[in-house]
A and B are shown apart, each in its own frame.
Chain A
Amino acid sequence: MTTAETPRVVSTLIDITNCIGCRACQVACKQWNEKDGQQTDFLGGDFGIQNPAALNADTLTLISFHELMDPSAPAGFRSAFVMRRCMHCIEPACAAACPTTALERRDDGPTVFDPSQCIGCRYCVWACPWDVPTADWDSLTPKINKCTHCSDRYEQPAPASRNGERLSSLEYQTFLDTIAQPACVKACPADALRFGDREEMLAEARRRIAARPERYVDHIYGEKEAGGTTVMYLSAVPFEKLGFPTLGPEPVPVHASKALRLVPPAVVALGALLGLVAAFFKRRTQVAAAPESAAHPHAGEVHGKLAHDEFERLPGTLWTPFNFLLLALMVVGVVSFAARFVLGLGGGTNLSDTWPWGLWIVFDLVWIATAAGAFATAALIYVFQRKDLYGLGRAAVFIGLLSYTFVTVTLVADLGRPWNAYQLALQAPEHSAMFEVSWCVGLYVTVLLFEFVPVLFEHWGWTRAMALWRRCSGAYVACIASLFVYMLSRSLGYAAAAAVVFGIVSWVFRTRYRHFEPVVLAIAAGTLSTMHQSSLGSLFLLMPGKVAPQWWSPTMPISFFLSSIAAGTATLVLVGTFISSGWKRPLRRSRVASMGQITFWSLLVYLAFRLGDMAVRGQLASAFSGRFGALFALEIGLGGVLPLVLLGREAWRSRLWIACTGALLAAGGIVLHRVNVVYLAMEPRGPMPWIAPSTYTPSWAEWGLSIGLIAATIFLFGAGARYLPLLPKPDPREATLGG
């Protein structure tokens, strides 16, 4: 909110009762912003003389047409014309969403846009509660478009003199009043638009309402909505009848902002906590192993040697009919990827201003959730010293690496202007969940790579590279943790704290034995994954009015994180099953059962948290009814309660088909959760003025790329298993599955 210290905040007051619907504002806006004219038609129906139907890349200001039943009016109805454009919020959700500060609020009020920084992620389109930003869907380089309140127009410097004579203060004021105004205000002949200081405009609005109470509803729309806006409206009829959304006084970015402020201290605290936990469990393991060590002085080395000898390659040829099918699907993926860039985002996909995100974002969210097995397994093995799961570690990390790499490929296709991605490194919008996710996922991929390269070094016999890796991994983790914290906080203090914490952790777990354990990499993986898995939930905190209440909550970041652990571990149960059944490999029953048990507990915690949160917020009672009740019941019942039952008893989850079914249902439930959040439970209104929200069905290119990348993951996992020692060797001492 404005304070005495803040500069003048400019504002436009729109008096709907004065608007004559001439569209002079609309065309003046087009001319000033050099936007294309559009063919006008009589659209009929609800649209009447409105042209075009909604805001779009060429129409940043639109007069919407309304016929309202009114028995007191001469013909039984009255017409209303409403100027639609950006509301220029005091705390804009679009700017909070933007990961590159392409959208930014100026101190004097307007939210302005710099296309040279736009990466075309379209998060702002989703985030805006008024659905104002629109994308250039017809362009091969689609950027975002929105009104800038003509800030470039009214900030033009006033001339110092005219005909050699200094301007008087009156002339200067006249310049400001008649020239330095937004083009729409300047062109309005009906006094429907007033431009000036926000406080003055509010006073003017109150004066008009007080002077003619019979003419206006006693409501200044924009005074308080979403924390207040600098474009405000007066109307003769309630605003909801004109299609304005009913919004509370809370700024939209408030929840996301709270969540993101926690990230820098959380990284430092989590790093320290995981370090302490790892030290505790390692010490406990050493104490437990001490008697054995006394009896066998080289036990540690033997253990280390055993650990590395525990893996082997999958025998047999890669060129099976199944893998040829996968190759064919990968070709489809490549063609789809190329089509996306040849046809453009608008031509290659069925995305629109109503559905700016579609299958590829669903795909990313699902893949990142199911790839969480990589960090969860690494943390279990090295932090919690669950060495019984060691045999699954390499497969988990390799799947994680493949999945995250292909998520990046999907993002490149999904971004409208991926060549501007370098802007993510230059800008620092610490308020953007997308920015946090971008950095966190990018750094995590490098951690996964660091976790995986020893397999390659070992395979190729690169002992010097392996030694270098052991020496450097701690320093690398300290560097990226500090960099990440600095980017998110812009605080040297936080960055120094991260450097100290991760530096100490790296020093404590440095190479001291022949058998080096990458504990610090596991801690980095756990920390970064916790951050980005939760921040994927934070993405949706900016959409409280769009995601159905069964799914939207201020605690979405926590439920996203908790569910990702359940999804990741469930996926590893499925991968284990695939290895044993598909590749006829004997697999330790205890490993699958252990992973099934972890899935059970993580799913239980997730469900308890989510349902508890809904109960606290008073949403639980109505969650199973209404439009999304059945969908919610399906997600919770089939994807939550049933897998809990199947995985809850040790005797049951030790049986392959039950563990597999339970894991499949658990992973499916979380996949459905992500699909619901992005698509099925999303209630978009479409671009303002919300008359014609379009439907969305993914295009062939969207399906093609997604399927191609899934095929590539399976194929490369198979190829990796055949050429690298990824799979655990069968242990004759233990009961096995399959084989």
Chain B
Amino acid sequence: LVDDDLFAVLTREHARFEERLKALLEIVEAVRRTEASRADLDAIARALDFFATEGARHEEIEEGTLFPRLRPLRQFKQVLSALEFQHGMNRSEGAQLRACVDRFVPARGVELQRLARRFVEMHRAHAMSEERALFPLAASALAPEAILEMSREARARMSRAAPAPEAQS
């Protein structure tokens, strides 16, 4: 894969998400050990906001740019169905975690931890699914021109929905 193609862009995004996931886990583990402060909860909420915006944009690129080009190809039926299902799982897991944070009381520290861990496990599994199953298969199935075109389209989508400064922090 060339550095500039869509798959490299999406893989870099996964790496960025992984950093956020690690940070989220660190905060949640700390909250589990001690009393959660307002600042901790705000930090968790910001991380979730990040996934709600950046993650959604990432999914939009995949579902709006990549998947439509693969859908006519028979060998992608299962993988696309699975990845869309995983996107749904990630969203529902994010919503559950968010609800837990919004209604957080100290007694719910254990629940917060288990939901956060599951959220992290899901995102990691999903990233691995795409990097190991989808990207190599798509890279071999699509013409280089189609991949470049998708890269341009993805960049356009990214620029249209640039993350707000606080979401990047």
Contact = CB atoms under 8 A, between A and B. Distances in A.
B81 A178 contact: yes
Nearest to A23: B125
B82 A188 contact: yes
B134 interface: yes
Contacts, number: 84
Given A24-B125, A27-B89, A189 B25 contact: no
A495 to B, nearest CB: 50
Given A31-B89, A31-B93, A37 B121 contact: yes
A31 B122 contact: yes
Nearest to A31: B89
B114 interface: yes
B78 A40 contact: no
B129 interface: yes
A12 to B, nearest CB: 14
On chain A, which size bracket covers the interface? 20 to 34
B46 interface: no
A631 to B, nearest CB: 44
A273 B126 CA distance: 68
A129 interface: no
Interface residues on B, range: 20 to 34
A188 B89 CA distance: 13
A560 B134 CA distance: 58
Interface string A490-510: 000000000000000000000
Given A30-B118, A37-B116, A40-B121, A191 B79 contact: yes
Interface string B18-52: 00000001000100000000000000000000000
B7 to A, nearest CB: 15
A26 B125 contact: yes
Contacts of B93: 31
A186 interface: yes
A36 B28 CA distance: 14
A39 interface: yes
Contacts of A190: 79, 129, 132-133
A31 B132 CA distance: 22
B67 interface: no
Interface string A40-84: 100000000000000000000000000000000000000000000
Given A186-B85, A188-B78, A189-B83, A21 B128 contact: yes
B79 A38 contact: no
Q: Is the interface of A mostly helix, strand, loop or mixed?
A: loop
B58 interface: no
B119 interface: yes
B118 to A, nearest CB: 3
A189 B121 contact: no
Interface string B54-97: 00000000000000000000000011011101100100110000
Contact of B25 (A27, A28, A39): A39
A39 B26 CA distance: 11
A36 B114 contact: yes
Q: Which 10 A-B pairs have the closest CB atoms?
A: A37-B117, A37-B118, A20-B132, A36-B114, A22-B128, A189-B82, A22-B129, A189-B133, A23-B125, A189-B129
Interface of B: 25, 29, 78-79, 81-83, 85-86, 89, 92-93, 114-122, 124-126, 128-130, 132-134
29 contacts: A20-B128, A21-B128, A21-B132, A22-B126, A22-B133, A23-B121, A23-B125, A26-B125, A27-B89, A27-B122, A30-B121, A31-B89, A31-B93, A31-B118, A35-B118, A37-B114, A37-B115, A37-B119, A37-B121, A38-B117, A38-B121, A40-B120, A187-B85, A188-B82, A189-B82, A189-B134, A190-B132, A190-B133, A191-B78
Interface of A: 20-24, 26-28, 30-31, 35-40, 178, 186-191
